[in-house]
Structure formats: structure tokens, C-alpha cells
């Protein structure tokens, strides 16, 4: 697919400078710039036309907070810093449950234009570079949060290699960031597309079917298995389309096109809430906002990207 890398979080050519991990000098760090993350949200400037806020890596609000080296832009070292220990005012508390947190948080030591937003809500407005930095930093901090203890001996582990590794304090085992591969499928039968609905989706929202790859399984086999398990629809030929890093929390979405060889749907209620076939003309109305019976996947997601390009006949 020629447009594959234009998907949100598709990459911006960031120089990740892996050779510098664990070898940065105090000068490198002091002259660096940092994006800021708070409990999974990202700090942006001007929420109406957002861009990632960049603070000096030595800014006072970042003191003693964990910092990860993301790469460099020319000679500027770029970092992500997590200030999740900061407690916002009581009237700015985040919503811990649900698909999307619409609340906003403002740090008193930053300009009023600086605000923490849910990445899902602003990802489609950020530049490709901002998206790559935000997705990388968010995913890495999520991994560190869930891997504080060694999987070999249970001892505490500590961040090393500028945030790209954890070492066990007891048995010296090394642990590296994890990315979970997920297949997400554009399943078609003629001019119809198969959509599914998860119970935790916003009202009326339908998206492409998706599921984790299992050990010992090819991408193509995972596509066929997941579709069959969730809807009882059989799939024949499968082709790769595009991939998307998805930092919610640590996945790589592998977009594929599958051709269905059957159409009867029998859903597994343990997997999804509903599934349906919808024609290309009906899907065009959904994207145009003239069909309010269902809503498409959120702009910025690979599901939205694949469906949009299918409608425009741009899958090749």
C-alpha cells in the first residue's frame, strides 16, 4: 500500500540515535528538550491547534521525574519525562474509567496555553514528528510502569540505557520494551465491509475486527482465526496493507485486507457485542455524516485510515 506510512503514528524519520542510549553526558541532557507525559496524557500547546509542548530537560517541574531519551533532531537531544506524581487541583481530576478521558489538566508553573490532553483526542491534529515522539514516550512509560519487577526472579528492576532497558537488582537479568502484535482486518465481500462493535466502544461506534497474534501463528492465520472466532465468517486470501504503532498501551497494529468466502454472521458474545456488513455506498454516507445509525472508528486510528482508503480505492 503506497500510502501506508502516512497513517497516524506512522513515523517521521526520527533519528533515534540508539548508539547514545546509556552514553549521554550531563551536557547532552542539560541542553536537551523534553515532551511531558502525565498519567498517559501529553502536554500540548494551544489545544485548538495542538503541538507537543517542548520544555528544557532541566525545567523545574521535571526535576527528579523519570526521563527517557527518544532521539535527536539535528544536534538537539529529545526526551520524554513522566510527571505522573504531580497532583492536579481537585477540579481538574482525570477520569480513570472509560474509553476516553475528556478532562484537561494545567500545571500552575506553566503558561495557560499548556494543557495535558488525552492523546486519542489530539493525535489526528499533531504533526508526524509529534505523533512519533508521543507514541514512543507514552508506550515506553507504560511498559516501565507494568514491568517494575523481574519476570525471572521477582526482584525489583531499575531503568537503564536511557529508558530502553530494565535490569534486575537481584539476578542482573535484562528486560527490554515489549510491543504486542495485533492484526486488524479490513474484511470485504464484493462491495461490502465487515464491521464489529466492542462493548467498551462509544455509542453507535463500529470498527474493523482486531485481535492479538498467538505464539506460532502467521499474520494471515491470525486474521482468519480472529474473524472466524468473532463472527463465524470465513476468510480466504489475506494481504498486508499497513502498520501503526498504537500506544494504548503497547501494540503494533498490523493492517490487512481479507476476502471473505462466507457472509453469515454468528457473533461470539464473549468477543464482541455486534457485527454487521455494510455496503461501500452506505459507508460513504457514514463518513460524510449523513448516516447517523453508526459512527466510524476515531480519526487517527488505523481502522479509520484503512476504511477511508478502501472507500477511495487506494489500497494498492
Q: Is 40 left (phi over 0), alpha (psi -120 to 50) or beta?
A: left
- Distance, in Å, from the CA atom of 37 to the CA atom of 23, rounded to the nearest integer, reads 23
| Pair 301, 226 in one domain | yes
| Pair 69, 195 in one domain | no
Closest CA to 131 of 47, 245, 46: 245
| Pair 234, 248 in one domain | yes
Q: pLDDT averaged over the chain? A: 95
Bond prior to 128 in cis (omega within 30° of 0)? no
Q: Is pLDDT at 96 greater than 80 in this prediction? A: no
| Cβ neighbours, 10 Å, residue 305 | 24
- Distance, in Å, from the CA atom of 33 to the CA atom of 282, rounded to the nearest integer, reads 47
| Pair 73, 191 in one domain | no
Domain hosting residue 162, numbered range: 148-178
Residue percentage of the chain with pLDDT more than 90 = 93
Helix (H, G, I), strand (E, B) or coil at 7: coil
220 part of a folded domain: yes
| Pair 138, 248 in one domain | no
pTM above the 0.85 mark? Answer: yes
Helix (H, G, I), strand (E, B) or coil at 271: coil
- Cβ-Cβ contacts under 8 Å for 68 (sequence gap 6 or more): 79, 80, 81, 137, 140, 141, 159, 162, 163, 164
- Distance, in Å, from the CA atom of 142 to the CA atom of 190, rounded to the nearest integer, reads 41
- Cβ-Cβ contacts under 8 Å for 256 (sequence gap 6 or more): 183, 184, 185, 186, 219, 220, 223, 238, 239, 240, 241
Q: Which of the four pLDDT bands, split at 50, 70 and 90, describes residue 98? A: low
| Pair 135, 17 in one domain | yes
The per-residue b/e assignment along 246-259, b for 16 or more CB within 10 angstroms, e otherwise, is bbeebbebbbbbbe
- Distance, in Å, from the CA atom of 65 to the CA atom of 296, rounded to the nearest integer, reads 38
212 part of a folded domain: yes
Average pLDDT on 71-80 reads: 95
237 part of a folded domain: yes
Q: Which CATH number goes with the domain that contains 190?
A: 3.90.79.10
Helix (H, G, I), strand (E, B) or coil at 24: coil
| Pair 153, 163 in one domain | yes
114 part of a folded domain: yes
Q: What is the pLDDT of residues 122-178, one digit of tens each?
A: 999 999 999 999 999 999 999 999 999 999 999 999 999 999 999 999 999 999 999
Top pLDDT among 287 and 99 is at: 287
- Distance, in Å, from the CA atom of 129 to the CA atom of 135, rounded to the nearest integer, reads 10
Q: Which residues pair with 114 in a beta bridge?
A: 45
Counts of helices then strands in the chain (DSSP H, E) = 6, 16
| Pair 122, 211 in one domain | no
Q: What is the pLDDT of residues 16-58, one digit of tens each?
A: 999 999 999 999 999 999 999 999 999 999 999 999 999 999 9
| Pair 156, 276 in one domain | no
Task: Quote the distance between the C-alpha of residue 10 and its chain's center.
Answer: 10
Helix (H, G, I), strand (E, B) or coil at 4: helix
316 part of a folded domain: no
| Pair 256, 295 in one domain | yes
12 part of a folded domain: yes
| Pair 231, 168 in one domain | no
Task: Quote the distance between the C-alpha of residue 3 and its chain's center.
Answer: 19
| Pair 28, 44 in one domain | yes
Alpha helices in the chain, H assignment, sequence order: 26-30, 119-122, 128-146, 219-231, 280-288, 302-311
Amino acid at each position: 500500500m503506497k500510502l501506508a506510512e502516512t497513517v497516524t503514528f506512522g513515523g517521521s524519520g526520527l533519528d533515534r540515535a540508539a548508539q547514545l542510549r546509556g552514553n549521554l553526558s550531563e551536557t547532552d541532557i542539560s541542553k536537551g528538550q523534553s515532551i511531558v507525559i502525565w498519567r498517559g496524557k501529553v502536554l500540548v500547546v494551544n489545544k485548538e491547534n495542538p503541538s507537543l509542548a517542548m520544555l528544557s530537560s532541566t525545567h523545574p517541574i521535571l526535576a527528579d521525574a523519570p526521563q527517557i531519551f527518544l532521539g535527536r533532531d539535528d544536534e538537539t537531544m529529545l526526551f520524554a519525562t513522566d510527571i505522573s506524581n504531580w497532583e492536579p487541583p481537585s477540579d481538574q481530576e482525570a477520569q480513570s474509567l472509560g474509553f476516553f478521558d475528556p478532562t484537561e489538566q494545567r500545571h500552575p508553573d506553566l503558561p495557560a496555553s499548556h494543557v495535558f490532553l488525552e492523546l486519542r483526542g489530539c493525535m489526528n491534529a499533531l504533526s508526524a514528528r509529534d505523533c512519533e515522539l508521543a507514541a514512543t514516550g507514552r508506550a515506553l512509560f507504560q511498559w516501565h510502569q507494568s514491568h517494575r519487577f523481574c519476570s525471572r526472579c521477582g526482584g525489583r528492576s531499575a531503568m537503564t540505557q536511557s529508558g530502553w532497558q530494565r535490569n534486575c537488582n537481584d539476578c542482573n537479568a535484562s528486560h527490554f520494551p515489549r510491543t504486542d502484535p495485533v492484526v486488524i482486518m479490513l474484511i470485504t465481500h464484493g462491495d461490502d465491509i465487515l464491521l464489529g462493535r466492542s462493548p467498551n466502544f462509544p455509542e453507535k461506534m463500529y470498527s474493523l475486527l482486531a485481535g492479538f497474534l498467538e505464539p506460532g501463528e502467521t499474520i494471515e492465520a491470525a486474521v482468519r482465526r480472529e474473524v472466524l472466532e468473532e463472527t463465524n465468517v470465513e476468510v480466504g486470501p489475506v494481504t498486508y496493507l499497513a502498520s501503526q504503532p498504537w500506544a494504548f498501551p503497547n501494540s503494533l497494529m498490523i493492517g490487512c485486507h481479507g476476502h471473505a468466502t462466507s457472509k453469515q454472521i454468528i457473533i461470539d458474545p464473549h468477543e464482541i457485542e455486534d457485527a454487521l456488513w455494510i455496503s461501500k455506498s452506505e459507508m460513504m454516507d457514514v463518513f460524510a455524516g449523513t448516516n447517523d445509525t453508526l459512527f466510524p472508528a476515531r480519526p487517527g486510528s488505523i481502522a479509520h485510515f484503512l476504511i477511508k482508503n478502501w472507500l477511495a480505492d487506494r489500497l494498492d
